[in-house]
Amino acid sequence: MAAANKGVIDSRRLFLFYHVARTGSLSKAEASLFIPQPAISRHISRLEEDLGVQLLERHGRGVTLTPYGEILYRQAETILNEMSNTIEEIDLAKRQPVGRVSISASAIVMSMFMPDIVRRFIAAYPDVEITAIQAVSGEVYNQLVSGKVDVAIVMQIPIKHKFGLQKLLEEPMVVIAAKSHAIAAQDYVKRETLTEFDVALPASPNGMRGIIDQYLKSGDIELKPHLQLDSVPLTSKILLDGRFTTIMPQSTFEHEFGTENFVGLPLKPALTRTLYAARRQEEGRSPYVDALLDTVIAVFKEAGHEKAPSSLRARRGSTIPA
């Protein structure tokens, strides 16, 4: 008989041999497998040729295993179970995400832009798991730097050699106050007069607070805020009392505060914040990270027509790069 072919056992022949050996009969194997006896017998004969040994003794009452058949039978169940488990794992993998990506952004970005970003991404990559994490601006930056997320929409530029950046938009920062506040009658607020008011500022050092602190420092102004708040809803409620003011982006004013109870006054000299899409540039990054980044850029670019606040729409061509 021929020697084994490169040490490989034909899985179909092994499957048929196992059922014949288990039942001790070609006819019983035929009944359980719905395969004709001649076909079963032919496959087992070829298996014997492949291995170079006789596996079954055929007689009128059925079949019995030879010593070689006993060895193969003991191993056959394990081999076939491993093959079945492998197929199950592959089927399970088909139903699971083929990749994972994560993104972090502030509440205003989540509200205005993230729904379109998520919808567009999952439409293009339905088998990829995406996680979107909302955080205050400073924490968004920290999540990117620490590697907790793949992409973040940030205001502060991270270390350039570790991150890739894409400018998304630029908008003015405004002083927000209740209409009952004395400052509400002004057309704008001079930087040097900020010390005359009680100002509530963001608490996180990265993000908006960093931009504001640098703005004040450049005017040689030291502002000691009575309140440091990272919650926009909380800040809104505090401002309604008429004592405090705050400094936030124009989009936050229009989207979260509104003009019914509040005013948003420009600063002189002007203060702007820029949003960037940032992603890590490490080796082995998932290709889906680049796809997510492209989706973010596309959504911000297209949303310039309809979602950006009025101050941005007027400047759309210069703030959102092609």
Q: Is residue 27 part of a domain?
A: yes
Give me the pLDDT at residue 95, please. Answer: 62
Identify the sign of the CA torsion 130, 111, 265, 199.
negative
Q: Is residue 306 part of a domain?
A: yes
- Location of structure tokens 């990270």: 289
CATH label of the domain that carries residue 69: 1.10.10.10
Residues 282, 168, single domain; the answer is: yes
Give me the pLDDT at residue 70, please. Answer: 92
Give me the pLDDT at residue 4, please. Answer: 42
Residues 146, 41, single domain; the answer is: no
Domain boundary among 53, 78, 94: 94
Give me the pLDDT at residue 61, please. Answer: 81
Count of domains forming the chain: 2
Residues 69, 196, single domain; the answer is: no
Residues 66, 115, single domain; the answer is: no
The encoded tokens of residue 221 equal 């102004």
pLDDT in tens, the chain (322 residues): 444 445 688 999 999 999 999 999 999 988 888 999 999 999 999 999 999 999 999 887 889 999 999 999 999 989 998 988 888 777 766 665 568 899 999 888 998 899 999 999 999 998 899 999 999 877 888 888 888 999 999 886 766 557 788 899 999 999 999 999 999 999 999 999 999 999 999 887 767 888 899 999 999 998 888 899 988 899 999 999 999 999 999 988 998 898 999 999 999 999 999 999 998 776 556 789 989 999 999 999 987 644 444 443 333 333 322 2
Phi-psi region of 242 (alpha: psi -120 to 50; beta: other; left: phi over 0): left
Give me the pLDDT at residue 198, please. Answer: 94
Q: Is residue 79 part of a domain?
A: yes
Q: How far apart are CA 128 and CA 124, in angstroms?
A: 9
Residues 62, 190, single domain; the answer is: no
Q: Is residue 3 part of a domain?
A: no
Residues 180, 50, single domain; the answer is: no
Residues 303, 241, single domain; the answer is: yes
CATH label of the domain that carries residue 176: 3.40.190.290
| Geometric angle at alpha carbon 245, from 268 and 230, rounded to 5° | 110
The encoded tokens of residue 114 equal 């993230």
Residues 15, 136, single domain; the answer is: no
Q: Is residue 249 part of a domain?
A: yes
Domain boundary among 94, 123, 150: 94
Residues 27, 55, single domain; the answer is: yes
Q: Is residue 80 part of a domain?
A: yes
Residues 203, 233, single domain; the answer is: yes
Domain boundary among 41, 75, 94: 94
Give me the pLDDT at residue 97, please. Answer: 54
pTM above 0.85, yes or no: no
Residues 85, 165, single domain; the answer is: no
Q: What residue numbers bound the domain in which 123 lies?
A: 99-322
Residues 209, 269, single domain; the answer is: yes
Residue 199, strand partner residues: 245
Type and span of the H or E element at 171? strand 163-178
Q: Is residue 77 part of a domain?
A: yes
Q: Is residue 164 part of a domain?
A: yes
Helices then strands (H, E): number in the chain? 13, 12
Q: How far apart are CA 202 and CA 230, in angstroms?
A: 5
Give me the pLDDT at residue 319, please. Answer: 32
